[in-house]
Structure 1
Amino acid sequence: MSGLVLLLEIADRRAALRTSEVQSVVELEAVCPVPGAPDFVLGLTALRSSTLTVVDAGAAMGLRPRGPLGSDARAVVVDHAGHRYALVVDAIDDVAEALGDPVPVPGEAGPGWQRASDGLIETERGPALLLQLETVLAGPVAAAA
């Protein structure tokens, strides 16, 4: 794999998304809860006259939930299957060049990471787990399906 990735942090681990999947990075403002939504869906927010579903990336992967959103909450805006999402992560680092194809994760990364990543990629800023956007957005229930 060659190309650019957005480096981010989820549950104390460096992860990456292909920049082709990323529309923008935003600071979240008001998030309106949605009654009956899965736990990993934090609610809805508005961005430039469109509605985004706000997803806690860690909780969606079956990891620990991020906790309450503070005034510094940042999210990666992605579009998948015609829907726009704000993927809330713990931190957003930078854009980096992927230096090769993903390789299997050595050792046991944990079921959430194993299921939601294409493997480990090396970047100019160090290794990162390359996320499968569709799997993350599906939430932890997808593991049982």
Structure 2
Amino acid sequence: MNELLVIAVIGSRRCALRAHEVQSVIEVGEVTPIPRTAAHILGLSALRSQALTVIDCRLSLDLALDGLATDGRAAVVKVAGHAYALLVDAIEDVEEAQSAPTQIPGGFGAEWTRVGAGMVETSGGPALLLDVAQLVAGHALEPKAA
């Protein structure tokens, strides 16, 4: 398996994004909130004059926000022609997959199962391969107040 993966941490879990889906990794600057959107949509930010919708991956997975530090970086991806910044707790490195994605033994719960495309082995250990479209979609959340 020669697929390159961007290794990230979300909620203390080691995750992988397919490198060909990641346009860049950025430090998220100012985010302008968007009223009445789902809670996992933090707002809009800009990258080289391009608007990015900022998605908080912890909120997309319905994880608690308290107690976990973040390095303020995000993976920029495109889903259905729209650019998104996936805010994660940390970006570790780019590694090569050493196995094809396999079924997750025992599972990680409903939200992780929703976004997981399988478990892959890397030189740094196993990582959960994520479906970026599912992270962007989030789960059934109530919209933020205006």
CA change 1:107–1:21 in 2 (3 A) is same
The CA deviation string for residues 37-87 of structure 1, in whole angstroms up to 9 with x for no partner, is 1100000001101100000012112323479x98x5111111111100010
Does the CA contact (< 8 Å) of 1:58 and 1:66 recur in 2? no
- State how far apart, in whole Å, the 1-side matches of 2:66 and 2:103 are: 26
Unaligned residue ranges in structure 1 (runs of 5+): none
CA change 1:56–1:34 in 2 (3 A) is same
Give the corresponding residue for 1:31. Answer: 31
- Between stretches 57-66 and 35-44, larger displacement belongs to 57-66
Give the corresponding residue for 1:15. Answer: 15
- Between stretches 1-10 and 48-57, larger displacement belongs to 1-10
Give the alignment's TM-score, normalised by structure 2: 0.89
In structure 2, give the amino acid aligned to 1:102: P
In structure 2, give the amino acid aligned to 1:126: G
Give the corresponding residue for 1:126. Answer: 125
Give the CA deviation at 1:32.
0.4
CA change 1:48–1:76 in 2 (3 A) is same
CA change 1:55–1:66 in 2 (3 A) is farther
SS of the residue corresponding to residue 113 of structure 1 reads helix
SS of the residue corresponding to residue 26 of structure 1 reads strand
In structure 2, give the amino acid aligned to 1:64: A
Does the CA contact (< 8 Å) of 1:2 and 1:101 recur in 2? no
Give the CA deviation at 1:108.
3.1
The CA deviation string for residues 86-134 of structure 1, in whole angstroms up to 9 with x for no partner, is 1000000000000111111112311111110111100111100000111
- State how far apart, in whole Å, the 2-side matches of 1:66 and 1:57 are: 14
- State how far apart, in whole Å, the 2-side matches of 1:108 and 1:117 are: 10
Give the corresponding residue for 1:41. Answer: 41
Q: How many residues get paired?
A: 140
Give the alignment's TM-score, normalised by structure 1: 0.90
- Between stretches 101-110 and 77-86, larger displacement belongs to 101-110
- State how far apart, in whole Å, the 2-side matches of 1:110 and 1:59 are: 15
CA change 1:66–1:134 in 2 (3 A) is farther
In structure 1, give the amino acid aligned to 2:128: L
